[in-house]
Amino acid sequence: MRILVVGAGAIGGYFGGRMLQAGQDVTFLVRPRRAAELTEAGLVIKSPNGDVTLKNPPTVQADKLNEKFDVLLLSCKAFDLDDAIKSFAPAVGPQTAIIPLLNGMLHLDVLDRKFGRERVLGGLCAIAVTLNDQREVVQLAPMQSLNFGERDGKMSDRVRAIANVFASGKFGSVASENILQEMWEKWVFLSTLAASTSLMRTSVGNILAAPGGKDFILGMLDETKAIATAEGYAPRAPFLERTTGMLTAEGSPMTASMFRDIKAGAPVEADHVIGDLIARGDAAKVPVPRLRTAYTHLKAYEKQRG
């Protein structure tokens, strides 16, 4: 099975690297700068689950991409999706399965329109990973998982085949028969965390320590939960119990990557993660005053960045 990983950044570099380490047929679609880095230093992974340096990992650049792949693993940011599609489109054939690991749901519509719904699986990952100053992939905590599956809930032959390959990477891959529910639950958690920590510009613990902080976070959770429910994906009890516990843990240093991007002056996924939720809430007549405030804040930040 031929796998094309779009990018060799933190997420793509980690999951693709683990499969390459296991001997799978993995190629990274990269820009010239990243190609040069990988040629010189290799793909370096530093992790609680084991360090590895993969010398000369297979790479290809967009202008040289002229072969079809069986699986395409996509982990770019939402604001890079259009450019990513242009770069990897030549690799998509009639039997190619695209597994996007982006947050939210808006990207599914974009990919469906371009490549056809039958080629686009659902997917999500949970991992704390970054690129350090040496451009090494650094996993910050042992937690790791990658869920994927057919969006109609069937366990297809192609999902079983992909599951066998992904299992070799030993990163907690799960072939799911309920992937859309899982994607919605991640969106509920992520959007609550991102909206809260970005708007307040601080960690969960500091928000909870402020007057009204707990009510604010739980109110944000109520809004995102209500939208998911209106869309037909009411969060399940175990998820809500786990999520509520994380969002009300006193002293928690947890923040969203969106907040960390703001601190770094980087682009944010305002429309994809928060704006699309608000649009769905409006369509379902779900009041979302907290989300609206957070969205206005994010769009003002984007305007300031220029």
User: How many Å apart are CA 7 and CA 200, to the nearest integer?
Assistant: 32
Residue ending a domain, choose from 176, 208, 227: 176
pLDDT at 246: 96
Residue ending a domain, choose from 158, 176, 194: 176
pLDDT in tens, 126-150: 998 999 999 999 999 999 999 999 9
CB 109 within 8 A of CB 130: no
Q: Which domain holds residue 65?
A: 2-176
pLDDT in tens, 276-292: 999 999 999 999 999 99
pLDDT at 306: 87
Q: Look up tokens 């980690």; give the residue.
A: 14
48 and 197 in one domain?
A: no
pLDDT at 184: 98
User: At CA 219, angle to CA 214 and CA 220, rounded to 5?
Assistant: 105
CB 195 within 8 A of CB 168: no
Q: Look up tokens 């992937």; give the residue.
A: 179
Cβ-Cβ contacts under 8 Å for 89 (sequence gap 6 or more) = 114, 115
278 and 210 in one domain?
A: yes
CB 221 within 8 A of CB 271: no
167 and 76 in one domain?
A: yes
187 and 146 in one domain?
A: no
Rounded average pLDDT over 207-211: 98
pTM for the complete prediction?
0.94
Give the residue numbers annotated as catalytic, written as ranges: 186
pLDDT at residue 83 greater than cutoff 90: yes
- Strand order, beta sheet including 69-74: 59-60, 25-29, 2-6, 69-74, 92-100
Residue 180, CA distances (Å) to 35, 81, 188, 269 in order: 34, 20, 12, 20
249 and 186 in one domain?
A: yes
187 and 158 in one domain?
A: no
Residue ending a domain, choose from 153, 176, 199: 176
Cβ-Cβ contacts under 8 Å for 129 (sequence gap 6 or more) = 10, 11, 14, 137, 138, 139, 140
CB 297 within 8 A of CB 232: no
49 and 23 in one domain?
A: yes
224 and 96 in one domain?
A: no
145 and 188 in one domain?
A: no
pLDDT at 235: 98
- CATH number for 267: 1.10.1040.10
- CATH number for 151: 3.40.50.720
172 and 187 in one domain?
A: no
Compute and round to an integer the Cα radius of gyration of the chain. 19
Q: Look up tokens 């609680």; give the residue.
A: 48
pLDDT at residue 86 greater than cutoff 90: yes
pLDDT in tens, 9-68: 999 999 999 999 999 999 999 999 999 999 999 999 999 999 999 999 999 999 999 999
158 and 44 in one domain?
A: yes
* pLDDT band of 71, cuts 50, 70, 90: very high
Question: How many domains does the chain contain in total?
Answer: 2
136 and 9 in one domain?
A: yes
Cβ-Cβ contacts under 8 Å for 163 (sequence gap 6 or more) = 173, 175
pLDDT in tens, 233-278: 999 999 999 999 999 999 999 999 899 999 999 999 999 999 999 9
